[in-house]
Structure 1
């Protein structure tokens, strides 16, 4: 009988140890690798909608560099996380003329904006250049220039300035809720 009690006690400790390890691993994954985020507002419409739930890949920029048009989450000046699209990389000269993006004086297509532009009277993005909105001619080293897809209703680099890379939480690349919008962002 004593050996049964010892075996039960050993099994209990094994279960407790397994649960503790599972919680530690889940916490580490959430803190260091992936985290959920809820889109708050309409600044990324039509790509993302208010209350969409996404997964943020926190390690993507530890092993690689940000790319133009990535959707990123970053710590904003107000202490909140923002979700925006990368438009300008370090060294880029950014300008908008007649609702067209110019990077280093070359026109760049933004097909993700087409659904939104089709329903508008006028331009989605007002004309500007970096010097006019930031006082600098190019995106500084270790910084990004970001915009929301809903250009008329987005608090982005035009008003908050460049985003330092150390403030980037990660790349938001999976919508997991609502299930009807389930997708991997490209």
Structure 2
């Protein structure tokens, strides 16, 4: 009888150790995840059709510290002055020359394809307008040139938003996670 009680106590103790270990691991994973990833709600249509208003995305904050940003990345920018955040596509890196002529993007005088604009380019042609509008810009050191994918309806580096700095970039979009039926990695 004593041996049975001791065995039962050991089994209960083992179960509690396992449960506590699982809870501790879950809390640790959640804490680490939140240190490197942040949920964000897309507001407005400046990134349509790539991202839609009210979609929820997961932002990879680690990109800031593990190799930086790349042309074409979708980034979240936080303006400390207004307290607002926005989602844009990274077009130009520090030191780049950015130019659009006849709806064609050139970075450092090299033609750059923008497959994410095809839908809007077709719409712009149908109504007889330029999607992006011609412009030229030099990206200063420590700054980035950004534009929304919905070029006709985007406040960005071309028209008043300015060029964000490293400190203003929260991270890169890693996943659209809500609505669940639309879960995907945006490109």
Structure 1 position 142, deviation (Å)? 2.2
Q: TM-score, normalised by structure 1?
A: 0.81
Residue aligned with 2:65, SS: helix
Residue aligned with 2:52, SS: coil
Q: Tell me which residue corresponds to 2:167.
A: 166
Q: Tell me which residue corresponds to 1:134.
A: none
Do residues 177 (structure 1) and 178 (structure 2) align?
A: yes
- Once the two structures are superposed, the pairs formed by residues 85-164 of structure 1 within 5 Å of their partners are 85-120=89-124, 121=127, 122-130=129-137, 138-158=138-158, 159-164=160-165
Aligned residue-pair number: 178
Larger radius of gyration: 2
Structure 1 position 176, deviation (Å)? 1.4
Alpha-carbon distance in structure 1 between the residues aligned to 2:37 and 2:12: 37
| Residue range with higher mean Cα deviation, 62-71 or 172-181 | 172-181
Do residues 73 (structure 1) and 76 (structure 2) align?
A: yes
Deviant stretches of 4+, over 2 Å: 11-25
- Once the two structures are superposed, the pairs formed by residues 22-37 of structure 1 within 5 Å of their partners are 22-23=26-27, 25-30=29-34, 32-37=35-40
Structure 1 position 84, deviation (Å)? 0.3
Unaligned runs of 5+ in 1: 131-137
Q: Tell me which residue corresponds to 1:45.
A: 48
RMSD over equivalenced CA pairs, Å: 2.5
Q: TM-score, normalised by structure 2?
A: 0.81
